[in-house]
């Protein structure tokens, strides 16, 4: 099932496409795996509602947001993200530390081969037990295909293996991507991490009743536009979504950015874990010595998990080489490799400065992890963000580049 529109797919056409994607299936019990509210402009909430409304009159429908390591969604967040259409008692929280089963392993030999010897350890294939529960007639994995710092292009099986994955799977895949290098893989298919997911999907999920429902989306004038909808099991549909996302979500600049201002919508960004998309999605477009200002009114902590938050505060964004040294010597960081990967991704390695502009994190907290600090209201007034437009803006005596949502794209030099 494939539907595309350059201007955006109308709601009626999208609803019809959702119906077609389930044509011929007899469904008495279904599991939906939508993204959480940290993917606010993915179209995932809208799709979850369409599938729920289609199935719930005749089937039992469970909804388990693919939160990965993120906080559980609150009742208020679920109400907003799912448009009040999905009862809160139908929503299940995925616990990445406890609520998983091990299906098998990706061999050390395979991991070593796809990473060109950078990683030489096996990866346990762990994911939420409900995905392989035989009582479900269909498991619909919903998500946006968009450039991603760990896997290259988000979604498809990543939604299952990370969004609904276990501790080992999440840690191992994140450090594999970090060792390979975000700049080598962002915006591309067939990264080492994607190859690991393909391996695991083929060998351990071939009999699961999975249906991938993928979107390619952008925001125009503050409004979500879904340009592509792809539903099915075959990888070819994901590859078509990748090609469309590369056109819609990657911005190629003809000159480097010397000063960038990125805004983090408080409904979507509550932590630096997510807000650091501002860093790694722009780093390939930033000039040496550039200044990056992250306006983060809703960011109140660093990790999306208490243990991860504590580790980030302990070690800080001290650069790739230092983090790799710490992984060898510090057992707590070694046991939480996704944090090590996050610290690598969020470090500028001295190539540019990063200033977090917050009101819920103190200056001491922000500087304590290695970032510069500016009060949010001061930055808001300084850059007059209400008057900024996406892209290049001329202020009084300088030019800045403004990004209203770093989660929706990737910026790089041609």
Domain spanning 2-248: CATH superfamily: LarA, N-terminal domain (3.40.50.11440)
Q: Where are the beta strands (DSSP E) in 133-232?
A: 138-144, 147-148, 152-153, 210-220, 223-232
Angle of helix 167-180 relative to helix 192-204, nearest 10 degrees, comes to 150
**Domains of the chain: which residue ranges?**
2-248, 251-413
pLDDT means per 10 residues in the chain (414 residues)? 94 96 96 87 90 97 90 88 93 89 96 94 94 96 95 95 91 92 94 97 94 93 89 97 97 97 94 96 97 97 92 97 95 94 95 98 98 98 93 92 94 92
Sign of CA dihedral 235, 237, 279, 70: negative
pLDDT of residue 168: 87
Q: Encode pLDDT of 167-203 as tens digits.
A: 889 989 999 999 999 999 999 999 999 999 999 999 9
Q: What's the CATH architecture for 251-413?
A: Alpha-Beta Complex (3.90)
b (16+ CB within 10 A) / e for 26-42: ebeebbbbbbbbbbbbb
pLDDT of residue 40: 75
pLDDT of residue 14: 96
Q: How many CB atoms lie within 10 A of CB 20?
A: 12
Q: Encode pLDDT of 125-170 as tens digits.
A: 999 999 999 999 999 999 999 999 999 999 999 999 999 999 889 9
CA distance 8 to 217: 8
pLDDT of residue 73: 85
CA distance 121 to 192: 13
Q: Given 3-state DSSP classes, what are the helix, strand and coil percentages for the chain, each rounded to the nearest 5?
A: 40, 25, 35
Sign of CA dihedral 305, 292, 77, 7: negative
Model pTM?
0.92
pLDDT of residue 334: 93
Joined together, the tokens standing for residue 143 give 């998500």
Determine phi and psi for 292, rounding to 5 degrees.
-120, 120
CA distance 95 to 220: 35
pLDDT of residue 120: 92
pLDDT of residue 190: 95
Q: What residues form DSSP beta bridges with 60?
A: 29
């Amino acid at each position: 099932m494939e539907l595309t529109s350059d201007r955006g797919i109308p709601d009626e056409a999208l609803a019809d496409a959702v119906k077609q994607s389930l044509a011929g299936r007899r469904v008495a019990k279904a599991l939906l795996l939508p993204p959480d509210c940290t993917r606010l402009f993915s179209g995932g909430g809208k799709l979850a509602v369409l599938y729920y409304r289609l199935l719930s009159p005749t089937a039992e429908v469970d909804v388990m947001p693919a939160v990965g390591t993120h906080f559980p969604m609150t009742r208020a967040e679920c109400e907003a993200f799912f448009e009040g259409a999905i009862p809160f008692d139908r929503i299940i929280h995925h616990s990445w530390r406890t609520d998983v089963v091990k299906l098998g392993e990706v061999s050390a030999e395979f991991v070593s081969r796809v990473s060109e010897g950078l990683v030489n350890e096996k990866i346990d294939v762990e994911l939420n037990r409900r995905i392989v529960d035989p009582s479900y007639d269909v498991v619909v994995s919903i998500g946006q295909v968009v450039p991603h710092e760990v896997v290259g292009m988000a979604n498809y099986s990543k939604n299952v293996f990370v969004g609904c994955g276990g501790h080992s799977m999440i840690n191992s895949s994140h450090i594999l991507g970090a060792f390979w290098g975000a700049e080598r893989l962002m915006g591309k298919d067939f990264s080492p991490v994607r190859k690991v997911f393909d391996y695991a999907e083929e060998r351990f999920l071939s009999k699961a009743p999975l249906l991938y429902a993928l979107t390619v989306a952008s925001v125009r004038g503050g409004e979500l536009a879904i340009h592509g909808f792809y539903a099915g099991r075959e990888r070819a549909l994901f590859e078509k979504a990748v090609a469309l996302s590369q056109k819609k979500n990657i911005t190629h600049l003809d000159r480097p950015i010397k000063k960038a201002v990125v805004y983090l919508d408080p409904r979507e960004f509550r932590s630096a874990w997510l807000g650091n998309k501002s860093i790694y999605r722009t780093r390939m477009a930033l000039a040496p010595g550039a200044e990056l200002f992250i306006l983060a009114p809703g960011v109140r902590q660093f990790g999306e998990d208490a243990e991860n938050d504590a580790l980030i505060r302990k070690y800080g964004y001290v650069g790739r080489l230092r983090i790799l040294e710490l992984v060898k010597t510090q057992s707590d960081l070694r046991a939480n490799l996704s944090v090590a990967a996050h610290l690598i991704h969020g470090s500028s390695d001295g190539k540019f400065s990063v200033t977090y502009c917050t009101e819920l994190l103190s200056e001491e907290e922000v500087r304590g992890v290695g970032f510069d600090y500016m009060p949010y209201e001061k930055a808001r007034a300084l850059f007059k963000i209400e008057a900024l437009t996406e892209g290049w803006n001329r202020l009084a005596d300088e030019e800045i580049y403004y990004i209203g949502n770093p989660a929706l794209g990737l910026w790089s030099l041609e």
